[in-house]
Amino acid sequence: MVEPFIKADVPVLVQGATGRSGRSQTAQMVAYGTNIVAGVSRRDDPEAKLPLFRTCTEAVKATGARASVAFVPPLDVLPAILEAIDAGIELIVTVAEGMPVHDALKARAATREAGMRWVGASTPGLAIPGSLKMGFLPNVSLAPGSLGVMSKSGTLSYEVCYRLVERGFGQTLWVGVGGDAVKGVRFADLVPVFAADPATQGIVVVGEIGGNEEEELAAALLASGCTKPVFALLAGRSALEGVTMGHAGALIQENVGTIETKTTALRAAGAEVSQTIKDLVEAVTATLGHTL
């Protein structure tokens, strides 16, 4: 079980539940089976189908919510995180694109001090297929299965998982850590979760240029002694140095965060690094096909 990280039936509250996207995404998370117990908003919403509260603390007291997913604008993410910490929330997912890095630095410091797990800054969220979805990972790419998935890019991971699902490979847990430079949960933090989970038979990593998260992941894999097969795809081989390619974290500078440093580190840790989506799907099929 991936329970040390997230429980399939954890009671979840939604911060920003009455906004345009908060409202529609909440409905979809509920439809997926997520145990959404409360919404938090400064505004009333006569059409709300959930109990609405003004603050996280009130929502937690009344409903016993343990996790939160925040649909708030980028400049409101830090206050939302601090509010969730005060309420004793254990895990928060933040989805807004464009959280300022200096805010993310403060959020990282505060969540670590409080012992709260933070998935964000900007991420499509996480899912235990068939049971729980916090965020908006697309249903077509989700299926219960045996792969632990960690991804920086939303769209690339949708495509990868969609094609793996077509081949019969679903997921135990999929965590989109996001493409920001400064974030909460990083690739390396998920190694112990997937290593300890008996249902997870392989790990899929959707990484990209910039930063040193893949290098950190490689070190964590080596240190953990995890023997599960690891399949990685790294985007941005042809990116232009000095220019932001869509993701704030995907800015390569000089020799830091290049595909070469990441590929070398991951291969040294025993991971299979593919250059194309097709090769990654083939690699998973070749290694784990007998488990289907």
Partner 1 sequence: MMLLEHHAKELLAAAGVAVPHGVLVTAADDGETALTLPPPFMAKAQVPVGGRGKAGGILKVKTATDSAPLIAKILGMTIRNHPVRSCRLEALVDYVAEAYFSLAFDANEGSIKILVAAEGGVEIESEEMRAKLLRASAVPDPVATTAALETLIPALPVALQWPIRELGSRLIPLFFEKEALLIEINPLFITRNGWVAGDAKVLTDDNALPRQAEMRGLIERFPDLYPEAALKLAQGFDFVQLDPQGDIGLVTTGAGLSMQLVDEIVQRGHRPFNFCDIRTGGFKGDPSRLIQVLKWVASGPNVRSVLMNFFAGSTNLAELVPLILQALEAVPELRQPITLRMTGNGLDAARKILEGSGNPIHVETDLERAIDRALAAAGSAAHG
Contact residues: partner 1, CB under 8 A: 74-75, 98-102, 105-106, 108-109, 112, 124, 136-138, 140-141, 151-159, 162, 179, 181-183, 186, 206, 208-209, 211-213, 216, 233, 235-251, 253-256, 275-278
Residue type, 123: T
Q: Which of 54, 112 has the CB closer to partner 1?
A: 112
**At closest approach, how far in Å is the CB of 28 from partner 1?**
8
**At closest approach, how far in Å is the CB of 3 from partner 1?**
25
Q: Which of 60, 281 has the CB closer to partner 1?
A: 281
Active site annotation includes 247: yes
**At closest approach, how far in Å is the CB of 49 from partner 1?**
20
**At closest approach, how far in Å is the CB of 258 from partner 1?**
12
Question: Which residue among the candidates 7, 117, 183, 247 is catalytic per the annotation?
Answer: 247
Distance between first and last Cα of the chain: 19
Tell me the CA distances in angstroms from 23 to 45, 46, 50, 72, 118, one per residue in order.
Answer: 10, 12, 10, 11, 22
Q: Which of 23, 228 has the CB closer to partner 1?
A: 23
Q: What are phi and psi of 174, to 5 degrees?
A: -125, 120
Residue type, 40: V
Q: Which of 147, 206 has the CB closer to partner 1?
A: 206
Parallel/antiparallel/unpaired status of strands 91-94 and 144-151: unpaired
Which residues are catalytic, by number?
A: 247
